[in-house]
């Protein structure tokens, strides 16, 4: 069983459909979890669904805004102490016209809501994690980062950039002892999408993979990428893990 007792984990996007599964798994592993959200109602709903009231801290704030993200960070540190891990589970899906027909306002909006938000979170928390050797910074990335999808050009471009950002962070932060994890997701069964193919992972299963990744964080020297597109047990396929030296394993 994965054990994170005594660990503090912040999950940006933890009130979302996939993030909720991550929060639930982390709580079950014994972690104390902080979740920021702009909406107190979403935080209340999360608390009702996952429990763990004594180890779940909801913080009202916008992690996409640099000033607000800093205030959230300070409140978490002041209440729980510095986090041992930060998971960025933010972003959203958007489909529409062909890439060459996407308007610049739409392009800017999708990249701002996805790629820019990831950068704000990284710039807010990675410097803090450098002070805690063995800490983990993790990102949740859609598999459009690796598999192009027609009609989802801006999302695909943003996801590919997010994955590359994780790789760069893994190299840059290794001297500080910060492990960087990238979890590449396919479709996920969530409370908002309760039906799907039998081999699809549930949000809770995604959370269990994330919890194990954090528990195994010691010794990472570069970005580790884990494909959690499907359940190996249900699909009959092996989960692909990119090893710590960058080779396929």
Calculated CA dihedral for residues 130, 131, 133, 137, nearest 10 degrees:
-40
pLDDT of residue 160: 93
| Torsion sign over Cα 118, 249, 18, 147 | positive
pLDDT of residue 223: 53
Question: Model confidence over 52-94: pLDDT tens digits?
Answer: 779 999 999 999 999 999 999 999 999 999 999 999 999 888 8
pLDDT of residue 217: 67
Segment-wise mean pLDDT, segments of 10 residues, the chain, 249 residues: 88 95 95 96 94 90 96 97 96 89 95 95 97 91 89 94 91 89 88 84 90 73 52 44 34
Q: Are 130 and 173 a contacting pair, CB within 8 Å? A: yes
Angle at 229 (CA atoms; ends 10, 220), nearest 5 degrees = 50
pLDDT of residue 147: 87
pLDDT of residue 249: 35
Q: Are 137 and 129 a contacting pair, CB within 8 Å? A: yes
Q: Maximum CA pair distance of the chain?
A: 50
DSSP run (H or E) holding 201: strand 201-202
Listed by start position, the domains of the chain span 8-242
Classify domain 8-242 at the CATH class level.
Answer: alpha beta
User: Is 173 strand, coil or helix?
Assistant: coil
pLDDT of residue 185: 87
Distance CA(76)–CA(5), nearest Å, equals: 18
Distance CA(86)–CA(76), nearest Å, equals: 11
* Surface-to-core class of residue 194, CB atoms within 10 Å of its CB (0-12 exposed, 13-18 middle, 19+ buried): exposed
Residue 8 dihedral angles phi and psi, to the nearest 5° = -110, 125
Q: Are 122 and 166 a contacting pair, CB within 8 Å? A: no
Other beta carbons within 10 Å of 56: 21
DSSP run (H or E) holding 56: strand 56-60
Q: Provide the whole-model pTM.
A: 0.88
pLDDT of residue 240: 35
Position of tokens 């805004």?
A: 65
pLDDT of residue 137: 94
Nearest Cα to Cα of residue 52 among 76, 28, 35, 71: 28
Position of tokens 């394993």?
A: 249
């Amino acid at each position: 069983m994965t054990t994170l007792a005594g660990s503090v984990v912040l999950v940006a996007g933890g009130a979302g459909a996939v993030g909720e599964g991550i929060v639930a798994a982390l709580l079950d592993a014994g972690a104390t979890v902080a979740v920021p959200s702009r909406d107190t109602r979403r935080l209340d709903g999360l608390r009702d669904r996952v429990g763990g009231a004594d180890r779940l801290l909801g913080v009202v704030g916008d992690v996409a805004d640099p000033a607000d993200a800093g205030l959230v960070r300070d409140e978490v540190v002041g209440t729980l102490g510095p986090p041992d891990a930060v998971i960025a589970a933010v972003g959203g899906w958007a489909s529409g016209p062909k890439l060459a027909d996407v308007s610049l306002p739409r392009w800017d909006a999708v990249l701002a809501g996805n790629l820019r938000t990831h950068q704000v979170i990284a710039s807010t928390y990675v410097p803090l994690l450098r002070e805690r050797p063995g800490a983990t910074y993790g990102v949740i990335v859609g598999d459009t980062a690796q598999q192009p999808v027609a009609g989802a050009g801006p999302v695909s471009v943003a996801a590919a950039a997010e994955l590359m950002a994780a790789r760069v962070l893994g190299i840059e932060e290794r001297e500080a002892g910060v492990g960087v994890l990238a979890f590449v997701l396919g479709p996920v069964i969530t409370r908002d999408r309760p039906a799907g193919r039998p081999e699809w992972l549930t949000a809770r299963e995604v959370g269990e993979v994330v919890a194990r990744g954090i528990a195994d964080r010691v010794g990472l020297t570069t970005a580790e990428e884990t494909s959690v597109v499907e359940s190996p047990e249900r699909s009959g396929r092996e989960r692909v893990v990119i090893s710590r030296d960058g080779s396929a394993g």
